[in-house]
């Protein structure tokens, strides 16, 4: 999916919500455990109930890798279902990859060609040659970790090198890389106070913003400082939506939670 197509979906749905499909078998409704593929059954029900309220889904691959081959199969079924039934939805493999160049090329093939995701999250730590193989996929998006939502972000990302914070180096340097127009960035909702500075460096890029809901980030603050002329935000919520109920009504309740966020977004878009 191209960036203009994503922006058009945000406009049509009045939503910039991304729903995180972080499936933990110990948290899903018990009746689903009898299904042949409980993870896919859970995801399908959540997608069927919420697809009109969001513009993106983000399976975090850790939640699938943890179940070995079966988990990887569930991830494949989920992305195939999304691509076939909802090609208008932007898909994010939250895999946080990145390695020496030839290895990154294989990661890029795995997520873009084999699985068919629109985007993948990538760690910037190994530098330019570890990210450029992802950027070579011109129709795809590489979402670079800039300033993450967790407490550990302060261990390295906000430390200063040559008078500048590391996350700013990530933003400024990555902008100079080949095909950098395919870059988006992860900025945690818990770091809203950094967004004005971040926007001064990358005014036009999309930001994937996890950390609202379960991690305590605030949607209004993120929008106030993080929105740009094209909205430029994908706000992720995972546990706050998909585990709102673990009864038979789990899909309806997840849709209620998604609708609450979507309506808050619609109100913000109306005055924006
Ligand atoms: O900085 C980051 C980067 C990624 N994540 C991921 O987003 C979701 C958040 O889940 P919630 O349940 O809404 O807290 C999860 O997959 C994280 O691994 C992040 O939280 N922060």
Express each pLDDT in 26-47 by its tens digit: 999 999 999 999 999 999 999 9
Q: Is 164 a catalytic residue?
A: no
Mean pLDDT by 10 residues, the chain (272 residues): 97 98 97 97 98 98 98 98 98 98 98 98 98 96 98 98 98 97 98 97 98 92 96 97 96 98 97 81
CATH number of the CATH domain containing 169 = 3.20.20.70
- CA-nearest residue, atom 7 of ligand 1: 210
CA of 135 to the centre of ligand 1 (A): 23
Token pair for residue 178? 């080949």
CA of 210 to the centre of ligand 1 (A): 5
CA of 111 to the centre of ligand 1 (A): 19
Full residue range of the structural domain in which residue 208 is found: 3-271
Pocket test residue of 18, 20, 65, 214 for ligand 1, highest count of atoms within 8 A of CB? 20
What tens digit of pLDDT does each residue of 164-202 get? 999 999 999 999 999 999 999 999 999 999 999 999 999
Q: What is the ipTM of this complex?
A: 0.99
Give the count of domains, the chain: 1
CB 68 within 8 A of CB 95: no
- Catalytic hit among 96, 175, 178, 224: 96
């Amino acid at each position: 999916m191209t960036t203009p197509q994503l922006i058009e979906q945000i406009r049509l749905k009045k939503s910039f919500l991304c729903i995180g499909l972080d499936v933990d078998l110990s948290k899903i409704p018990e009746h689903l455990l009898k299904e042949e593929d409980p993870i896919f059954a859970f995801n399908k029900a959540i997608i069927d109930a919420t697809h009109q309220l969001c513009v993106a889904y983000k399976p975090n691959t850790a939640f699938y890798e943890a179940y070995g081959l079966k988990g990887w199969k569930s991830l494949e079924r989920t992305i195939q279902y999304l691509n076939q039934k909802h090609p208008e939805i932007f898909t994010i493999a939250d895999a946080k990859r990145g390695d020496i160049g030839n290895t990154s090329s294989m990661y890029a093939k795995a997520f873009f060609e084999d699985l068919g995701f629109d985007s993948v999250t990538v760690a910037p730590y190994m530098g330019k040659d570890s990210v450029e193989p992802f950027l070579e996929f011109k129709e795809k998006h590489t979402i670079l970790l800039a300033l993450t939502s967790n407490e550990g972000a302060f261990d390295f990302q906000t430390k200063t090198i040559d008078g500048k914070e590391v996350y700013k180096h990530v933003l400024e340097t990555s902008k100079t890389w080949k095909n950098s127009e395919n870059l988006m960035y992860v900025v945690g909702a818990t770091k809203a106070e950094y967004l004005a500075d971040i926007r001064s460096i990358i005014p036009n890029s999309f930001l994937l913003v996890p950390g609202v809901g379960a991690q305590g980030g605030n949607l209004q603050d993120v929008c106030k400082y993080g929105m740009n002329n094209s909205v430029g935000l994908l706000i992720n919520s995972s546990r706050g939506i998909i585990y709102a109920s673990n009864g038979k009504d789990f899909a309806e309740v997840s849709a209620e939670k998604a609708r609450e966020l979507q309506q808050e977004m619609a109100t913000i878009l109306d005055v924006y």
